[in-house]
Homo-oligomer: A and B are copies of this chain.
Amino acid sequence: MRISELGRVTGVPVATVKYYLREGLVHPGRATGATQAQYDQTHVARLRLARALVQVGGLSIVSAREVMTTLDQPEKSLHEVLGTVHDSLPPQPDHPGTPRAQSLVEDLGWQVRPEATALRQLEQALRVLEEVGAPASEQGLQSYARLARQIAELDVASVPRASPDDAATAVIVGTVLWEPLLLALRRLAQEAVSAESLDGHQSRPDQPRP
């Protein structure tokens, strides 16, 4: 198939397909002449994945390229793929982590790389909560961590190890594209729980105004 069909099949504007090709999000087609190239199902799949990472996962073009690069590195183990993907994901905190995140994962007995970006992301989240005057309690953190671990067990269990072709893709999808799904579910659940327990009909009392 040629570029226009690639665009039509995936619903991505041809100009954007060209842009993604230039940026290396999608591998080049098989050139059949100076101004002609052929694309196949692998291009369709990668284009769709790239589009999803950028538009739904919120990745920058650079991050998406880094993530998709791992698909071309079969020498890496799935665990390494996971780490690489995590480290390519936003946000990328500037400050180094203070020891609180580190000690939390130690308490939990989680074995994570000390340089994991997620550690610094956790630390940033904790710092911001303090700055805003609503610090996370140790107990709340522990509960959250316990539930996060149960989610992660679902995630890891769902990686298809029988068909290794798709395993790396599954890691990327499971990590990145399930995040918005999880957040949407949490919001819906919050509304449901709130409707049951917070009084949905009574106004909250007046509070001092600035």
> Which residues does A use to contact B, with CB under 8 Å?
27, 40, 42-43, 45-46, 48-49, 52, 56, 58, 72, 74-83, 86, 89, 91, 105, 108, 110-113, 116, 118-119, 121-122, 124-126, 128-129, 131-134, 136, 140, 143-145, 147-159, 161, 164-170, 173-175, 177-210
Contact = CB atoms under 8 A, between A and B. Distances in A.
Contact of A151 (B43, B89, B144, B174): B144
The 10 A-B residue pairs with the shortest CB-CB distance, nearest first, are: A152-B189, A42-B210, A110-B192, A148-B185, A125-B181, A118-B187, A122-B184, A121-B184, A79-B200, A165-B207
A85 to B, nearest CB: 9
| Interface-central residue, A76, A132, A197, by most chain B CB under 10 Å | A132
A134 B189 CA distance: 24
Contacts of A133: 45, 48
A167 to B, nearest CB: 6
19 contacts: A48-B131, A58-B91, A76-B204, A77-B201, A77-B203, A80-B200, A89-B187, A105-B188, A118-B184, A129-B181, A144-B185, A148-B186, A149-B189, A152-B189, A156-B193, A157-B197, A161-B198, A164-B205, A175-B190
Contacts of A58: 58, 91
